[in-house]
Structure formats: structure tokens, C-alpha cells
Amino acid sequence: MNIFNRYPVLIAEIDNNLSEFVKQEGISYIDAAKFVIDEAKDCGITAVEFSSFESSSFDFSIEEYRKLAQYCKDTGMIFLMSLSDFQSVDLLDEFMNMFKIESSDLTNIPFIKYVASKNKPILLSTGGSTIREIKEAVSTIEEVSTVDIAIFHCVLSFPTAYEDANLLMIKDLSENFSDYEIGYSDHTVPDENMAVLTTAYNYGATILEKHFTIDKSLPGSSEHAMDCDDVIRFNWNVNFLSKINGMKNKQPLICESSSRKEMRRSIVAFRDIKKDEKIDNDDLTFKSPGTGIYPSEIDNVVGKIAKENIKKGTLIDFNMLK
């Protein structure tokens, strides 16, 4: 299962400082939102998420959200919103490719069932929940739909202290929900090397979500929001991990071919062995390079008769034996 048909996916939750940016730049809310979308795309973000907790408290009109969704589509970004009432689901369904269910609604079974009835992929956040509660939410979705589900590890603490991040829970989710894609919603303060988000990815979270701001100094910017520099650093980490991770199956590598021959051991004559002598263990030793008979085949050498004189230090070859 891969909801976005790529990984990793980085989702930028548009920070709650748009109003301050509007004041600073003297532009409209929708122009400010478009600017942030452009900035997010330019630094390597896949999707942007706007939050609207109640249909009665939309920051934008439905028509403006429609325009933002289209703007994201035109620029190659994915438009997301986290919704928590039935009316907002109906209003925004026409231009939503998937739905986000917040941690606060994980036990809101009627709402989950209604969202699932729309038959679109679901991003399920699990902050403050138990495995049993998550399984109940997943079962609810599966009762009414066959949509893809991504399950997000999340900690409901803002900002989350590093010692509370508990990234190993990502592995626990992977084990308990092996048929589903696993994500991580990060509320820690961005560290210098973006180690938290990078570790989450390395532990198996293929969809990563974090608050995003274009300027951390803007009033209203969340302490745990990342900026473009953080995103660029994270993407560098991911590319580096991809490079060093390589393939899973253990096997000799091309870069090891010469060293493999030079450094491995071969069966070597420990003393001068005369023609027609029977070879004993004491006649042999093991030395590099590994271009002769491997020590693992010593039982096929001991007891054989030398067909020729073999000088001390010579790599034994089966052609020398009878």
C-alpha cells in the first residue's frame, strides 16, 4: 500500500501565522496561502495541509478552498485538510483526494464511519491512543470501505519534548498493522540536523507531517514548526540514507570483488612437499590471497597424493593432487 505512490512524503501543516504574514506583506489570505504553497513546493514538500476544525469557523470560504485545491493541483502539490464535523466533510469532499482524521477523533466512531463512506484514502492520526482503540478505528473504516489507510504515530504534547517522542512506537505500529502504511506527525522543535524526522523515516514512517512556516520569527509561528532550511536538511538526510542503505539481501558487492580475492585465505603448502607424498594436516596452512582452494575444502585435500613437487608457500591446486 502506498497512498501517495512515492516515499517519503513530507506534509506541511500550514502554520497558524498566516494572519501575521498577511499583515506584514499587505496581501490577501488566499495570496498568502499561495505564497506559502509555492515556498513549500520549492523546498521539496509533497503536500500542504490546512486545518479547519469546524465548518462554521473556516478561515476561507468554500470557493477559496476550492481555488487553493486547484492551485495545489496546478503546481503539482497535494491539497489536504483535517476535518472534524460532518458538514465540512460534505462541503469539501468534491476537491479532496483523501481525508485526514485527527487524533481527537480517533474514538469518534460515527464520524470515522461517515468519512470512510466517502471511499477515499484516510490518514489516521493516533496521538494519545492505545492499540485497541486504533484497531477499533481501523475496523470501523473497513466495515464500510476498502480504502487505503495510513496510520500515524503522534504525541499530543505541543511542543513534544525529545524524550517524549517515542519513535520506537513507529515500529510497534508497523508490527501491529503490517498491511498499512505508517506515518509520523511530529511536534518536536526542529533540531539542528532534523534527526527526529529523519529517524522516524528510518524506523519505517513513509509519510511525515510537520507544521511549516516561512519565517520562524513571525508572531504566531508554532515553536515546533519547520522552515524551508529544515526541509532541505531533511531531504538531504533522506537522500544520504538511501545511498548508504543500499540493498537488503546480503551478498558480495562489486566494490568488494578485488578485496575478496586479495584478503581471503587459501590452502597453502606449509613445507616443501615431494611428489607422491601423502598430504597431511600438518603439511598445510592458510594464507592470502583467496584465489586458491578455500580452507573450507581442506577435507578434499588432506589424504591426497602430490602429483608433483610442491614448494613451501605454494597455493595448493587440485591439479597438483591425485
Q: Are residues 197 and 152 in the same domain?
A: yes
pLDDT of residue 222: 86
Q: Are residues 150 and 201 in the same domain?
A: yes
pLDDT in tens, 277-289: 999 999 999 999 9
DSSP 263: H
> Whole-model pTM?
0.88
pLDDT of residue 20: 83
For the residues 49-55, what does the mean pLDDT come to?
A: 66
Last residue of some domain: 245, 265, 281? 245
Q: Are residues 235 and 194 in the same domain?
A: yes
pLDDT of residue 67: 94
Last residue of some domain: 192, 211, 245? 245
Of 43, 22, 38, the C-alpha closest to 72 is 38
pLDDT of residue 122: 97
Q: Are residues 200 and 300 in the same domain?
A: no
Tally of CA atoms within 13 A in the half-sphere of 35 that contains its CB = 16
pLDDT in tens, 245-297: 998 899 999 999 999 999 999 999 999 999 999 999 999 999 999 999 999 99
Does 214 reside within a domain?
Answer: yes
Average pLDDT, the chain: 93
Three cell numbers written together for 313: 608457500
Is pLDDT above 90 for 60? no
Q: Are residues 206 and 271 in the same domain?
A: no
Please list, in sequence order, all residues whose beta carbon lies within 8 angstroms of the beta carbon of residue 292, skipping any fewer than 6 positions away. Answer: 266, 267, 268, 315, 316, 317
Q: Which helix (H) or strand (E) holds 50?
A: strand 47-51
pLDDT of residue 297: 96
Does 236 reside within a domain?
Answer: yes
Is pLDDT above 50 for 204? yes
Q: Are residues 290 and 239 in the same domain?
A: no
pLDDT of residue 116: 97
Q: Are residues 301 and 216 in the same domain?
A: no
Give the number of domains in the chain.
2
| 82 confidence band (pLDDT: 50, 70, 90) | confident
Distance CA 64, CA 48 (A): 15
pLDDT of residue 36: 95
Q: Are residues 300 and 176 in the same domain?
A: no
CATH number for position 283: 3.90.1210.10
Q: Are residues 89 and 176 in the same domain?
A: yes
Does 3 reside within a domain?
Answer: no
Is pLDDT above 60 for 54? no
246: left (phi over 0), alpha (psi -120 to 50) or beta: left
The residue behind cell 471511499 is 119
Last residue of some domain: 217, 245, 273? 245
Distance of CA 217 to the CA centre of its chain: 29
Does 60 reside within a domain?
Answer: yes
Is pLDDT above 50 for 303? yes
User: Which domain does 113 fall in, by range?
Assistant: 9-245
Does 45 reside within a domain?
Answer: yes
pLDDT in tens, 142-162: 999 999 999 999 999 999 999
Q: Provide the percentage of residues in the chain whose pLDDT is more than 90.
A: 84
Does 4 reside within a domain?
Answer: no
